[in-house]
């Protein structure tokens, strides 16, 4: 990619802009609300939402308006959802993996992850990030019994108004590479579904900090995830012997 060729030439400016952005972007809190519980009616669905500040719902006023709340709301129409949120602002794939390995093991039917933005901004290589993502998937499957994993892709950082140019272009290009490489890596992964977050570039739908999703983005993210989760759960019921397609991007 062109951004790789520009890295050395732009390094001093990118470093300056990155440092300035970290100081100037408002630090929004993780929203209040329960992080585990049970609700709904119907077949049991054990749900894990795992990851970074977006998974934690930063940009929403309450967990009810965040990814977790919207996803539980959609799924509880057809399932008894036992849900658990494990997410932290600033989490990278590596730090999230360390935290995951420290948790008490427990089975989940569906897990949805949101990780990658902090890896991009931290300067990690794509190769190392993909290896960490693979280790994360293996841990979720073997230690936590995740039957179906929904992996969220990278959002369109090139449209984040909080980032100045050319930093916005640089991080956006790198995030696009991460996103494409992740999807290719998941092509042969059994029981894994890729969920693209590049369904809107409307900055008006972002949070006040210009860096996190706003409530309407969370609503659409959850809607798409609920479709995947429902398809996956239907494949697990008696009479549904086939597995769903391993990777499917919804448009």
User: Per residue in 168-180, pLDDT tens?
Assistant: 999 999 999 999 9
Number of domains in the chain: 1
In a domain, 241, yes or no: no
Residue 245 lies in a domain: no
- Is residue 32 assigned to a domain? no
> How far does CA 231 lie from the centroid of its chain?
19
- For residue 205, being part of any structural domain is answered with yes
What is the CB neighbour count within 10 angstroms for residue 25? 15
Angle between helix axes 93-102 and 126-142 (nearest 10 degrees) is 20
From residue 186, give the alpha-carbon distance in Å to each of 23, 24, 70, 146, 154: 35, 36, 25, 16, 14
Q: DSSP letter string over the chain?
A: -HHHHHHHHHHHHHHHHHHHHHHHS--PPPPPS-SEEEEESSSEEEEEEEESHHHHTBTBSSGGGSHHHHHHHHHTTTSEEEEEEEE-TT--HHHHHHHHHHSPP---SEEEEE--HHHHHHT--HHHHHHHHHHHHHHHHHTT--SEEEEE----GGG-TTSPTTHHHHHHHHHHHHHHHHHHHHTT-TTEEEE---S---GGGB-TTSSSB-HHHHHHHHHHHHHHHHHHHHHHSTT--SPPPS-----
Does the residue 248 lie in any domain?
no
Q: How far is CA 191 from the centre of its chain?
A: 17
The domain of 56 spans: 2-26+38-155+162-236
- Give me 221's structure tokens: 């993210």
Q: Which tens digits make up the pLDDT trace of 199-216? A: 998 999 999 999 999 999
pLDDT surpassing 80 at residue 237? no
Tokens 């440092």 belong to residue: 19
CATH number of the CATH domain containing 194:
3.40.50.1110
**Has residue 250 been placed in a domain?**
no
Q: What is the pLDDT of residue 4?
A: 64
Residues 222-231, mean pLDDT to the nearest whole number: 96
Q: Is residue 139 part of a domain?
A: yes
User: Which segment of 60-69, 163-172, 173-182, 238-247 scores lowest on mean pLDDT?
Assistant: 238-247
Nearest of 104, 206, 77, 96 to residue 151 by alpha carbon: 96
Flag whether 46 is in a domain: yes
């Amino acid at each position: 990619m062109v951004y790789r060729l520009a890295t050395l030439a732009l390094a001093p400016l990118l470093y300056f802009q990155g440092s300035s952005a970290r100081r100037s972007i408002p630090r929004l809190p993780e929203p209040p609300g329960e992080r585990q519980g049970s609700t709904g009616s119907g077949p049991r669905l054990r749900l894990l939402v795992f990851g970074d500040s977006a998974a934690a719902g930063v940009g929403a006023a309450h967990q009810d308006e965040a990814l977790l709340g919207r996803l539980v709301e959609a799924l509880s129409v057809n399932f008894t959802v036992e849900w658990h949120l494990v997410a932290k602002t600033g989490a990278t794939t590596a730090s999230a993996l360390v935290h995951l390995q420290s948790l008490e093991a427990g089975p989940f039917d569906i897990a949805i992850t949101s990780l990658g933005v902090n890896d991009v901004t931290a300067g990690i290589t794509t190769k190392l990030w993909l290896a960490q993502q693979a280790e994360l998937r293996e841990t979720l499957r073997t230690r936590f019994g995740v039957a179906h994993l929904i992996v969220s892709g990278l959002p369109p950082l090139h449209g984040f108004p909080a980032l100045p140019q050319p930093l916005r272009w640089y991080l956006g290009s790198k995030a696009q590479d991460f996103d494409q490489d992740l999807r290719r890596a998941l092509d042969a992964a059994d029981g894994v579904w890729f969920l693209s977050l590049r369904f809107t570039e409307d900055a008006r739908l972002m949070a006040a900090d210009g860096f996190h999703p706003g409530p309407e983005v969370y609503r659409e993210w959850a809607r798409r995830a609920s479709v995947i989760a429902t398809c996956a759960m239907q494949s697990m019921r008696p009479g549904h012997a086939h597995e769903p397609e391993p990777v499917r991007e919804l448009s």
